[in-house]
């Protein structure tokens, strides 16, 4: 699997930017390329703000922090004012009081000491009245690039108004948001490592309390860029424009929910997949990607015309118990829907005659008194392994102790690509050592509770850093781990993680995971590696769910609907129809 959509961590993107800026500076005789990157990023964000303003004409309020994200916001304000769009900057930054005498003059470097108000582009009078200060103050930006843009903005006479922690702050913020038609968040961006508090928290709360459209620059302020967690408070954006690359926090909840529609601006950074030799040192693990339609297309099995059912592999699904026979049937039939040639279902003998799908070849097994698979079935299953291409174990198995023993004994004997799901995972959690030391032919597909049982970590611990949790599990068990949920993750023990962009909340329904297991098993039967099958399988599964939702809505989707849509999903992917996220990223920032 090879995706062209890398998602670097905060450390990785900062290392890349720093190394790129330094290399350009060396080549260009000391040119500050960081200033250029900020200019390109800010202009891209200004175009995104302009598109929102076109739909909501009036005044744009830009809330800036003191760092580079705030510097981007200052560039946005400059372009908007040059384009004739009324826009003011409200700054949360360290300040110094200056005397009335200093207030009346410039420092000679374009550094205005006042909160200037241009006569030709006044924001609303109500906003001006609320923010009028008795003592004028000087803003201190944290980086040279941001400070340079502050000076440029001041020289143009654009509003630059400092927000301080006063008794009137909430009233001032209310006036700003109520008298603006678009709000721009340029407070923090990436790399936030502490909880938001003070004036910045009040600003975020005011933005969220408004009903105005919100544009976040790079990342909604208050979201951890690596984990997607909320750092005390976070901006809820309608649109986020990010630079160079997506960040993990854009694609991990709750951050994904706060980002809104995503737009990506190319600011001229080299791609990690094609780094110049002088920058090769910036590459590091983890290597995080978004699974793309093109990447899935590249690994889909071919369908030669001179073929038979054996050409496309044989899948063995081991599952089912009293009351849970449907789970195993869903997995087994989904393997056929994704293209496998033959699908066998090994299930308790008393359930064999009740399998609802005619195309499945049923293998009755010895059963317990509770009508689950008995340990005595082990020999029969071992004999089947020689004739099959891949295994799916777990759907509907039950947690009967005899069945658990059967699973644990069998896992050490499976030498074919194998998906472990549902009660297969629960059985494994009882004795994780039953997994072979070299388990790279296995794909685990846990949801958070199942991964909690396997790792001993709480669900909250796992969800606080989903990417890290998936990677840690893949390394611990030395196998492929599919960490299910919104933006499901596929982790490889060597440090690669693929984030899946397809799927919807309607797929939170009984049996959907069984369909996924069957898809992955069916792809492995057709020759895909466990990792490629997992990445492609999760994407196909989500795409099938999206097609059902597009036709019938999300509420009421059942697993059988997803299974039925698998062939159509394959057609769509083959035709190059991308996910909603991929489509957003290819659109111009001028699009809504």
| 378 C-beta neighbours (distance < 10 Å), count | 18
pLDDT higher than 90, residue 113: no
Query: What is the reported pLDDT for 28?
Result: 86
Interval 406-435: pLDDT, tens: 999 999 999 999 999 999 999 999 898 888
Q: How much is the CA Rg of the chain, to the nearest whole Å? A: 28
Peptide bond between residue 71 and the one before it cis (omega within 30 degrees of 0)? no
Mean pLDDT taken over the chain: 92
Query: What is the reported pLDDT for 433?
Result: 86
Residues 119-142, mean pLDDT to the nearest whole number: 54
Coil vs helix vs strand at 271: coil
Interval 307-335: pLDDT, tens: 999 999 999 999 999 999 999 999 999 99
Q: Could you tell me the CA-to-CA distances from 509 to 192, 483, 555, 562 in Å, in that order? A: 36, 16, 10, 10
Query: What is the reported pLDDT for 119?
Result: 32
Coil vs helix vs strand at 239: strand
Query: What is the reported pLDDT for 123?
Result: 45
Confidence band of 97 (pLDDT split at 50, 70, 90): low
| Parts of the chain belonging to CATH 3.40.50.10260 | 34-271
pLDDT higher than 50, residue 592: no
Residues 199-209, mean pLDDT to the nearest whole number: 97
Q: Which CATH architecture has domain 293-300+309-576?
A: 3-Layer(aba) Sandwich (3.40)
| Parts of the chain belonging to CATH 3.40.1190.20 | 293-300+309-576
Coil vs helix vs strand at 62: strand
Interval 252-283: pLDDT, tens: 999 999 999 999 999 999 999 889 888 999 99
pLDDT higher than 80, residue 217: yes
Confidence band of 136 (pLDDT split at 50, 70, 90): low
Residues 224-231, mean pLDDT to the nearest whole number: 97
User: For 401, left (φ over 0), alpha (ψ -120 to 50), or beta?
Assistant: alpha
Interval 8-56: pLDDT, tens: 999 999 999 999 999 998 888 888 999 999 999 999 999 999 999 999 9
User: What pTM value is reported for the model?
Assistant: 0.92
Q: What is the rounded end-to-end Cα distance, in angstroms, of the chain?
A: 31
Which of 6, 9, 5 has its CA nearest to residue 190? 9
Coil vs helix vs strand at 565: coil
Peptide bond between residue 286 and the one before it cis (omega within 30 degrees of 0)? yes
Distance, in Å, from the CA atom of 347 to the CA atom of 543, rounded to the nearest integer, reads: 29
Distance, in Å, from the CA atom of 382 to the CA atom of 367, rounded to the nearest integer, reads: 16
Distance, in Å, from the CA atom of 223 to the CA atom of 296, rounded to the nearest integer, reads: 30
* Residue found under tokens 């200037």: 116
Which of 300, 335, 330 has its CA nearest to residue 314? 335
Q: How far is CA 369 from the centre of its chain?
A: 45
pLDDT higher than 70, residue 457: yes
Strands (E), 266-384: 287-290, 314-318, 342-348, 361-365
Interval 356-396: pLDDT, tens: 878 999 999 999 999 999 999 999 999 999 999 999 999 99
Query: Does domain 34-271 match CATH 3.10.450.50?
Result: no
Query: What is the reported pLDDT for 197?
Result: 95
Query: Phi and psi of 401, rounded to 5°?
Result: -60, -35
Interval 507-550: pLDDT, tens: 999 999 999 999 999 999 999 999 999 999 999 999 999 999 99
pLDDT higher at 129 or 8: 8
Residues 148-168, mean pLDDT to the nearest whole number: 93
Distance, in Å, from the CA atom of 449 to the CA atom of 423, rounded to the nearest integer, reads: 12
For strand 87-91 and strand 160-162, is the pairing parallel, antiparallel, or unpaired? Answer: parallel
């Amino acid at each position: 699997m090879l995706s062209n959509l890398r998602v670097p961590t905060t450390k990785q993107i900062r290392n890349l930017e720093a190394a790129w800026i330094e290399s350009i500076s060396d080549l260009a005789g000391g040119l500050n390329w960081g200033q250029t990157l900020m200019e390109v990023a800010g202009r891209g964000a200004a175009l995104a703000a302009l598109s929102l303003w076109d739909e909501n004409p009036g005044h744009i309020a830009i809330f800036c922090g003191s760092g580079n994200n705030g510097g981007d916001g200052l560039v946005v304000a400059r372009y908007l004012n040059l384009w004739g769009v009324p826009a003011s900057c409200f700054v949360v930054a360290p300040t110094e009081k200056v005397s009335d005498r200093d207030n009346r003059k410039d420092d000679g470097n374009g550094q205005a000491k006042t909160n200037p108000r241009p006569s030709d582009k006044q924001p609303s009078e109500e906003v001006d009245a609320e923010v009028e200060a008795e003592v004028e103050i000087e803003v201190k930006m944290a980086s040279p690039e941001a400070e340079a843009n502050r000076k440029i903005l001041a020289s143009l006479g654009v509003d630059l108004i400092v927000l301080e922690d006063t008794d009137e702050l909430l009233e001032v913020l209310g006036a700003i948001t109520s008298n603006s038609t678009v709000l721009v968040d340029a407070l923090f961006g990436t790399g936030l490592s502490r909880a938001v508090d003070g004036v910045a928290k009040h600003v975020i709360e005011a933005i969220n309390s408004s009903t105005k459209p919100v544009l976040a620059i790079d990342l909604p302020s208050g979201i951890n860029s690596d984990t997607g967690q909320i750092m005390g408070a976070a901006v809820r954006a309608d649109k986020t424009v990010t630079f160079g690359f997506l960040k993990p926090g854009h694609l991990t909840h709750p951050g994904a929910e706060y980002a809104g529609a995503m737009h990506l601006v190319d600011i001229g950074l080299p791609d990690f997949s094609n780094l110049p030799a002088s920058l090769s040192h910036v590459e590091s693990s983890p290597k995080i990607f978004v699974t793309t339609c093109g990447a899935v297309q590249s690994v889909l099995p071919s369908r030669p015309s001179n073929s038979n059912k054996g050409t496309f592999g044989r899948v063995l699904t081991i599952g089912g118990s009293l009351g849970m026979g449907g789970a195993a049937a869903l997995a087994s039939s989904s393997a056929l829907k994704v293209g496998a040639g033959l699908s066998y279902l090994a299930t308790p003998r008393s359930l064999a005659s009740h399998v609802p799908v005619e195309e499945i070849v049923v293998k009755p097994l010895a059963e317990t008194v509770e009508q689950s698979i008995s340990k005595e079935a082990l020999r029969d299953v071992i004999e089947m392994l020689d004739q099959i291409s891949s295994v799916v174990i777990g759907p509907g198995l039950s947690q009967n102790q005899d069945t658990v023993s059967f699973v644990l004994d069998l896992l050490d004997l499976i030498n074919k690509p194998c998906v472990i799901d549902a009660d297969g995972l629960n059985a494994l959690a009882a004795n994780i050592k039953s997994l072979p030391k070299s388990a790279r032919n296995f794909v685990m597909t846990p949801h958070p509770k199942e991964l909690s049982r396997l790792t001993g970590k709480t669900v909250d611990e796992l969800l606080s850093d989903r990417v890290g949790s998936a990677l840690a599990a893949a390394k611990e068990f030395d196998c492929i781990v599919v960490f299910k949920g919104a933006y499901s993750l596929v982790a490889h023990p060597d440090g690669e993680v693929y984030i899946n962009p397809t799927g919807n909340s309607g797929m939170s329904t009984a049996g959907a995971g069984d369909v996924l297991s069957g898809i992955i098993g069916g792809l492995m039967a057709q020759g895909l590696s466990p990792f490629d099958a997992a990445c492609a399988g999760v994407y196909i599964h989500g795409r099938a769910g999206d097609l059902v939702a597009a036709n019938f809505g999300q509420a009421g989707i059942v697993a059988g609907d997803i299974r039925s849509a698998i062939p159509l999903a394959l057609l769509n992917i083959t035709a190059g129809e991308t996910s909603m996220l991929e489509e957003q990223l290819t659109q111009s920032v001028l699009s809504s």
